[in-house]
Amino acid sequence: MTPFHEVLSRYNSFVPGKDWLDLRPQMQLRVENAYYKEGAPKHGLPGFLGTQVAQYRVGSRGHLQLLSVRSAVRQLPRDQAPVQRLISARQRGYPQHRFFFEIMFKQSQTRGSVLLGAGSPQQINRLAAQLLTAPDSVCGAQSPHCTVFPEACSVSLEMEILVNGAASTVSWASLLSSITEHPHHLELSRMYAGRLVPVEINANDPAALRLPLLPGDHISWN
């Protein structure tokens, strides 16, 4: 029996309060970038043109699949890249990805979220250790392993689950209570060793609804 607070950490090393987590299959990355008129500050309302959103899914082998791009910008400014180009095609093809919520870059005195990509667990651990001590050496302009998201960019982590037979996307670290708070009947199945297995849940126990959800969970309730 895994304690509730260890469910996410055993899945992808996520611990609340820690500044990074690994991306695993069936997780999603939602990248929303704000665009401004050329030369305008990249914050606030003056010069704001709209946003573009790119949605990625982590594939079975760890690579990032571009699912969709939505744009509310009529014409992109020439000095700002389309949202789907923020993460390079080469980096998306790596089997290992680690997302950092915020990194401080000493040379530019800026902060930003960072996505690392690597070919092996050993390589991503090495790059991650270097990122925390010397971020500018890892995330150079031509680095194939690193994406530093712009200041006006919002990155959120999501996951795919099935609720009463319908596909649903929820935020990473969501709890079972975010799906239903007062169920009369509740069933949960979770992937284990390549197959769905039932998880015992007492629908009458409010504490049981604090179970963190994982990608691929199947939930039935009424």
pLDDT tens-place string over residues 111-169: 889 999 999 999 999 999 999 999 999 998 778 999 999 989 999 999 999 999 999 99
How large is the average pLDDT for residues 184-203? 90
Q: Tell me how far apart the alpha carbons of residues 30 and 154 are, in angstroms, rounded to a whole number.
A: 8
197 Cβ contact partners less than 8 Å away, ≥ 6 residues apart:
189, 190, 191
pLDDT category of residue 192 using cuts at 50, 70 and 90:
confident
Residue ranges and CATH numbers for the domains of the chain are: 87-148 (no CATH), 156-221 (3.10.20.30)
Q: What is the pLDDT of residue 42?
A: 84
Q: Which amino acid is at 123?
A: Q
Assessment of whether the complete model's pTM goes beyond 0.75: yes
pLDDT tens-place string over residues 57-102: 999 999 999 999 999 999 999 999 999 999 999 999 999 999 999 9
- pLDDT mean across residues, the chain: 91
Let me know how long the chain is: 222
Helix (H, G, I), strand (E, B) or coil at 71: strand
Report yes or no: 131 and 100 within 8 Å, Cβ to Cβ: yes
Q: Tell me how far apart the alpha carbons of residues 177 and 169 are, in angstroms, rounded to a whole number.
A: 15
Q: What token pair was written down for 115?
A: 């996505």
